[in-house]
Structure 1
Amino acid sequence: MAEPNGEWLGKGFSSLKESKLWYKENVVFPRNGEYKITVEQAMRKVGSVEGIQELDGITDIGIKIEKANKE
């Protein structure tokens, strides 16, 4: 992810960056067990309706699920 001027967003060095994006909050998993999470990119070029199939330079992503603090 980058600013319109090309400056990279996120923390890190060189072109390796970490960006934290909150997707959903207060999601409850009703039972203990294994869950499957699917991530799909949906980028497109400016002015184009057609999606980009692969993102150059993206080699890895990570997901962290945190237990909410009960207040």
Structure 2
Amino acid sequence: MVDVTKQLRRIERFTQTSEVLLGNLQNLKLHESFEEHASASLKRNASSDEIQAMTEASERPLEV
């Protein structure tokens, strides 16, 4: 009976540890996904800013 109780406790601890690790992994994946989206957004914004600057520069009259 004692062995069964010990085994059940070990299984419970293992399950709890697994749940914590799974939660950490999910948080890590969410964080990586957020970083990817943020990076892509920054690149789009930078490209948009560059295009805007080139457009504005081309609209200005040439100074001689």
TM-score normalized by structure 1? 0.18
Name whichever structure is richer in helix by fraction. Answer: 2
Name whichever structure is richer in strand by fraction. Answer: 1
Q: Specify the structure having the higher radius of gyration (Cα).
A: 2
